[in-house]
Amino acid sequence: MKGTKMLLGCALLAASLVVSNAQAQTTLRMTWYSDGNEGEVMSDLLRRFEEQNKDIKVVLDQVPFKAINENLPVQLAAGQGPDLARVADLGGVARYMLDLRPLLKDPAYFETNFGPFLEWMRLPGDKTSIPGFMTQLTLTGPLVNKTLFEQANIAMPGPKATWEEWAKAAKDVATKVQAPFPVAIDRSGHRFFSLAITQGAKVFDDKGEPAVVDDGFKRGAQLVYDWHKNGVMSKELWGSVAGTAYRGANDEFKNAQVVMYVSGSWQIGQFDKTIGNGFDWVAVPTPCGPANCSPMPGGAALVAIKTTQHPKEVARLVEYLASEKVVGEFYDRSLFVPGHLGLAKQGLTYKDASQQGKAALKVFSEGVSTLSPVANKLQGYVHNRVIFNAVISRLGQAIAGEASLDEAYKRITADIEQQIAERTKK
């Protein structure tokens, strides 16, 4: 009897110790989306972090990209957000981000290595906050099915070729090999501007206010419009859905139905894995226009959220994940262009990538040096998604035959004015 009581006492003590230990552990929730394998890589890194920091547990909530753009902002506005989130619309959710600067051991490290990109995460007038770090820097650009060019016995245009030259070559190839999509451009305002800026679009006036529809913009819009009319682009992307819906051509490219796919560096990981030896594909530099050959920069960042109850633990996690060795491993294994200046300078080995994956990453990385100031400014503009969405919605209508290009231009200007006014209403 006495022994039983003793045993019971020990069990209770052990249980209370376990409970108190569990209570001491802080749980952080991280909302995350993936284009390729980066979710798996992040899980790996978090497991290592937890081993080194027994007092912190991180729950990785993996959601679709659509949920990051549509549901997360509502959650954040309601004060019900996670502790950290991986976001792409940096300016759009900047007001919900937590400034980690006072909590970081070495803020200078962040300034030195993520400096230019931190500006994308800041509200106008804010010059100092450090809400997180870039999980990837992206650049738009074309991915070309080289095998189709070889089958058609047509030479690929050179590095300084224009959009028109590429369009003609892609159309010739598609006609010869009967591919349904000579050129496919993601139905995304961000992607459209990679074309418009090369045509001379300035996007902003001298005061820095949006003045989107100018001659350069019109040249870009006219090209996209004409390409839909003459069969260079199929209506299935830009003309098939309404409003601001994104539509990519990943599946069509993977199935060798697209000759030239204008998308971006974030596709490399999944194409490298899924296309395999199916056909040869290459990334080529952004085609040139009368103004320049600039791609559009972009990217995603892991940021701390203002409503977190555990800011110190969040800062510790961000410090760990943003440290050169860890973030370097993350970029390397995820096949991402580094959003870390030090690593970008050193270069990454991308040891898991195939030769064509490595070559494509090299082409996109080199694109950083050709970025136009307009492209950088547009990416850093807090209401850039308002501009992107107005453009795809109205240009989509023109392509579908519901409006003329001139009507679309008027609507784009009106939509941008109205939405920015609504967004800034107090």
Partner 1 sequence: MLRGATRIIDWPMEGLQRLIGERRMPYVFLLPNLAFFGVFVFVPISINFLYSVTGGPALFPAERPFVGAGQYAYLFDCGSFVDPSSCREDHFWRGVSNTLRFTAFQVVAMVLLSLLTAIVLNMKIRGRGFFRAVYFFPVLLSPVVVALIWKWILQRDGLLNAGITGLGGDKILFLSEPGWAMFWIIFVSVWAHMGFYTLILLAGLQAIPADIYEAAEMDATPRWRVFWRLTLPLLWPNLIVVIVLALIRAVQTFDEVFVLTGGGPGTSTLMVVQYIYETAFSNQVQNFGLAAAASVVLGIVLFALTLAQLAFSQRKSS
* Pairwise CA distance, residues 390 & 212, whole Å: 10
Question: And the tokens for 253?
Answer: 């490219």
By CB under 8 A, is residue 402 in contact with partner 1?
Answer: yes
41: closest CA among 349, 351, 336, 330?
330
* Pairwise CA distance, residues 351 & 57, whole Å: 30
The H or E element spanning position 217 is helix 215-229
95: three-class secondary structure by DSSP = helix
35: three-class secondary structure by DSSP = coil
Ranges within 163-202 binding partner 1 (CB under 8 A): 180
From the CB of residue 288, how many other CB atoms can be counted at a distance below 10 Å? 20
21: three-class secondary structure by DSSP = helix
By CB under 8 A, is residue 7 in contact with partner 1?
Answer: no
304: three-class secondary structure by DSSP = strand
From 69-77, 132-140, 289-297, 315-323, span contacting partner 1 (CB under 8 A): 69-77
**Dihedral sign of CA atoms 370, 376, 140, 321 in order:** positive
By CB under 8 A, is residue 156 in contact with partner 1?
Answer: no
From 102-110, 200-208, 281-289, 382-390, span contacting partner 1 (CB under 8 A): 382-390
Ranges within 270-329 binding partner 1 (CB under 8 A): none
Q: Which of 89, 150, 164, 165 binds partner 1 (CB under 8 A)?
A: 89
* Pairwise CA distance, residues 259 & 251, whole Å: 13
* Pairwise CA distance, residues 419 & 332, whole Å: 39
Pairing, β 132-145 against β 281-283: antiparallel
From 38-46, 215-223, 369-377, 397-405, span contacting partner 1 (CB under 8 A): 397-405
By CB under 8 A, is residue 209 in contact with partner 1?
Answer: no
From 190-198, 348-356, 360-368, 387-395, span contacting partner 1 (CB under 8 A): 387-395
- CA angle (76 as vertex; 377, 394 as ends), nearest 5: 50
Q: How far is the CB of 215 from partner 1 (least distance, A)?
A: 25
52: closest CA among 417, 414, 325, 248?
325
| Count of residues making up the chain | 426
Question: And the tokens for 210?
Answer: 């949006």
Q: How far is the CB of 177 from partner 1 (least distance, A)?
A: 16
From 12-20, 235-243, 326-334, 345-353, span contacting partner 1 (CB under 8 A): 235-243
Ranges within 26-45 binding partner 1 (CB under 8 A): none
From the CB of residue 165, how many other CB atoms can be counted at a distance below 10 Å? 14
By CB under 8 A, is residue 242 in contact with partner 1?
Answer: yes
By CB under 8 A, is residue 70 in contact with partner 1?
Answer: yes
From 135-143, 237-245, 338-346, 357-365, span contacting partner 1 (CB under 8 A): 237-245
Residue 359's identity, in one-letter code, is: A
By CB under 8 A, is residue 145 in contact with partner 1?
Answer: no
* Pairwise CA distance, residues 130 & 132, whole Å: 6
Q: How far is the CB of 426 from partner 1 (least distance, A)?
A: 7
Q: Which residue has the tokens 């410090």?
A: 319
Q: Which of 138, 194, 234, 356 binds partner 1 (CB under 8 A)?
A: 234
From 44-52, 238-246, 269-277, 317-325, span contacting partner 1 (CB under 8 A): 238-246
Q: How far is the CB of 204 from partner 1 (least distance, A)?
A: 18
Q: How far is the CB of 316 from partner 1 (least distance, A)?
A: 30
Q: Which of 263, 286, 356, 389 binds partner 1 (CB under 8 A)?
A: 389
Q: How far is the CB of 84 from partner 1 (least distance, A)?
A: 21
Instruction: Give Cα 426 to chain centroid, integer Å.
Output: 30
Q: Which of 74, 111, 324, 373 binds partner 1 (CB under 8 A)?
A: 74
Q: How far is the CB of 210 from partner 1 (least distance, A)?
A: 13
| Interface residues toward partner 1, by CB under 8 A | 70-71, 73-74, 77-78, 89, 92, 180, 234-236, 239-245, 247, 385-386, 388-389, 393, 396-397, 399-403, 407, 411, 414, 419-420, 422-423, 425-426
